[in-house]
Amino acid sequence: MPRHRLLLPLLVALLAPGSRAAEVVDGIAAQVGTDVVLLSEVMELVGPIEADARSQGVPEAEIAKVRAEALEQLIERRLLAKVVKDAHLEVSEGEVDNAIEGIAQDNGLSMDQLRASLGTHGVAWDEYRARIKTEIERNKVVGTMVGSQVQVEESDVRALYSELYSDQPEGGEEVHVRQILVLGGEGTPRDVATACRAAREASARIAKGEPFEKLAAEVSAAAPQQGGDIGWIHVDAMAGWMKTEVATLEPGSVTGVIELPFGCTLLQLVERQEYAPVSFEAAKPALEREIFASREDVERRAWLEKLRSQTYIERKGHFAGTATLMAPPLR
């Protein structure tokens, strides 16, 4: 069974301080068996998300749904905590230590740097350890109760390989490209001339030494969060104009401004290499993980629904009618 990775950014986000319990009049949001979920717990979990939503003018109905999703996540935690206790799947302090060390390594941090990072997010170390412990226990439960039931046959893997790779080229060349694309014309906030003027300004700044990625993050409609990096492309899959422009580029060089019917663009060639088709054996491990994860998710949802049906759950007050609104719980 694949190892479940615990990612620092996600866990920091879950722990970041938001609406604290002291800021609300407390009460019971739901009863789960003999346990309860407090309103303050819901508000603390949903606080950062709700604050962001309100800043963007999200309607109250959508914010209510976010709170309901948070409650469902807390209900799920209560259900899993009981299974952990009944099945003796508690996690030791040593396991928590090992997991945290792994998180630090995966994020390229020392333990001191990890502590400092948590501190900048207002997350106490003991609180973080408790959260990691809960996540490990959850993974143990899913692996024990669900993962062991999931089977992946080689025929399944071959079918997915055929679906994903049957059209791959036999050879040729592929290029790694960055792009600055400034859209203009119908359906955009500017005309083509204005878009091309912005592209030329970006080109001039690059010529003076500013990084292509920086300008892409500022103005590009193509992968701005990745600095305009649009990845590896086989030359045969490129549009004719792009193939022509890239053909004469050396790694690191940038095209001039290219005018298109929908705006203007610049391309940077990062590198080029011979294309090697992905063999079944090379793709097999990743495909197995993909199939396993998909099937485990289906089984997990079914198992949790069964667990819910066997447990007395009553949502109270404001949350009394929210169960019918729910998509799958937040992660």
128-154: pLDDT as tens digits: 998 899 889 988 888 888 888 899 999
* CA dist., res. 196 & res. 297, Å (int): 46
Quickly tell me which residue has 């606080």 as its tokens. 47
Residues 307 and 244 in one domain: no
On whether the pTM is more than 0.85, the answer is no
Structural domain count of the chain: 2
Residues 147 and 23 in one domain: yes
Element (H, E) at 58: none
* CA dist., res. 278 & res. 295, Å (int): 24
Residues 6+ apart with CB under 8 A from 19: 43, 44, 46, 47, 50, 51
Q: Which residues pair with 234 in a beta bridge?
A: 174
Element (H, E) at 189: none
Q: Give me the pLDDT at residue 17, please.
A: 45
Residues 121 and 216 in one domain: no
As a whole number, mean pLDDT of residues 290-319 equals: 92
As a whole number, mean pLDDT of residues 272-291 equals: 96
pLDDT tens digits along 77-101: 999 999 999 989 889 999 999 999 9
Q: Give me the pLDDT at residue 209, please.
A: 96
* CA dist., res. 180 & res. 219, Å (int): 7
Q: Which residues pair with 274 in a beta bridge?
A: 173
Residue 180's domain comprises 173-274
Amino acid letter, residue 306: K
* CA dist., res. 245 & res. 208, Å (int): 21
| pLDDT beyond 60 at 244 | yes
- Range from 98-102, 124-128, 208-212 carrying the lowest mean pLDDT: 124-128
As a whole number, mean pLDDT of residues 311-321 equals: 87
Q: Give me the pLDDT at residue 122, please.
A: 78
Residue 260 lies in a domain: yes
* CA dist., res. 303 & res. 326, Å (int): 17
Q: Give me the pLDDT at residue 25, please.
A: 58
Q: Which of 274, 293, 315 is the last residue of a domain?
A: 274
**CA-based nearest residue to 87, from 134, 148, 144, 36:** 144
Residues 214 and 246 in one domain: yes
Q: How many CA atoms lie within 13 A of 129 on its CB side?
A: 14
Residue 161 lies in a domain: no
| pLDDT beyond 80 at 4 | no
Burial 90-125 (b: 16+ CB within 10 A, else e): ebeeeebeebbeebbeeeeeeeeebeebbeeeebee
- Range from 7-11, 52-56, 209-213 carrying the lowest mean pLDDT: 7-11
Residue 182 lies in a domain: yes
As a whole number, mean pLDDT of residues 161-174 equals: 93
Extract the tokens encoding 223.
Answer: 């992968």
Q: Give me the pLDDT at residue 124, please.
A: 87
Residues 139 and 13 in one domain: yes
pLDDT band at 6 (very low <50, low <70, confident <90, very high): very low
| pLDDT beyond 60 at 321 | yes
Extract the tokens encoding 1.
Answer: 């069974």
| pLDDT beyond 90 at 249 | yes
Residues 213 and 302 in one domain: no
H helices of the chain, in order, are 8-15, 39-55, 60-86, 93-106, 111-120, 125-145, 154-165, 192-207, 212-219, 240-247, 280-309
What CATH number did the domain enclosing 147 receive? 1.10.4030.10
Residues 228 and 127 in one domain: no
Q: What mean pLDDT is reported for the chain?
A: 87
Residues 269 and 297 in one domain: no
Q: Give me the pLDDT at residue 323, please.
A: 57
Residues 142 and 229 in one domain: no
Residue 298 lies in a domain: yes
Residues 270 and 289 in one domain: no
Q: Which of 253, 274, 295 is the last residue of a domain?
A: 274
What CATH number did the domain enclosing 267 receive? 3.10.50.40
Residue 159 lies in a domain: no
| pLDDT beyond 70 at 319 | yes
As a whole number, mean pLDDT of residues 237-255 equals: 94
Extract the tokens encoding 311.
Answer: 């447990």
Residue 230 lies in a domain: yes
